[in-house]
Amino acid sequence: MLKIYSIPPSLYSAKLRILLRHKGLEWNEVLPPGGYGSDEYKQIVPTGNIPALVDGSLLLADTEAIAEYLNEKYPDPPMLPSDLAQRAQARQLSRFHDTRLEPELRKLFAHVSPETQDPALNATQCAAINAKLVQIAAVLPARVSAFGSMLTLGDCGFPISQVWIDALAGALGMDIHWPNVFKDYLSALHEHVAVQTELADYRPKIADWVASKAAA
């Protein structure tokens, strides 16, 4: 069976689980021994990051690489379009999520506790997140007309980041503006059972994580 190293609040692990669920795969999820980044875990996964996949003798520790690998190994249902240009568009969407949107959320993770909250950082990151949502909204019409209701590798990060943005906005009082086109896109993604199932499991974990930080 596939083995995934993960911790409960991991954003990228939740992104990966949408793919696992959509493809009807079974997996065994385990905590990284010693915690991620630890020397003990680095004996297994040299880079020390999560999520990591072990499939037989193969070890992969990057969500994009894992997703592409699983999509090729288990092609049904396909999560990349058959058209070359559309596949590139789906990959572009995924990279936008991972390299442009998520890094703006990540800057707030260490600043949820009242002791480390930073109103100036909140304002900066709120503006940065709103700017990224506007940018992605501009490319969404092309994505919707290209793939319709197909769930692609490029889509899996956004419902998960939405959970984080909502939780952080609630805890830090940020005024997030979701462009209508983005709201419609997310609503369409929520029609997929894999997305619904993952969000039902993941949202309480993030609510608990934020509540524990806010109480610290």
Ligand X SMILES: N[C@@H](CCC(=O)N[C@@H](CS)C(=O)NCC(=O)O)C(=O)O
Residues that bind ligand X (CB under 6 A): 10-12, 36-37, 48-50, 62-64, 98
Q: What are phi and psi of 51, to 5 degrees?
A: -75, 155
Cβ closer to ligand X: 10 or 181?
A: 10
Least distance from ligand X to the Cβ atom of residue 50, Å = 5
Q: Where are the alpha helices (DSSP H) in 97-192?
A: 102-106, 119-147, 157-172, 180-189
Residue number with CB closer to ligand X (14 or 174): 14
Task: Give whichever of 158 and 181 is closer to ligand X, judged by the CB atom.
Answer: 158
Q: How far is the CB of 99 from ligand X (least distance, A)?
A: 8
User: In angstroms, what is the minimal distance from the CB of 51 to ligand X?
Assistant: 6
What is the rounded distance in angstroms from the CA atom of residue 213 to the CA atom of residue 111?
Answer: 9
Cα–Cα distance, 140 to 155 (Å, whole number):
11
Please state, as a whole number, how many other Cβ atoms lie within 10 Å of the Cβ of residue 216: 10
Do 47 and 60 meet the contact criterion of CB atoms below 8 Å apart? no
The nearer residue to ligand X, 166 or 184, going by C-beta atoms, is 166
Q: How far is the CB of 143 from ligand X (least distance, A)?
A: 20
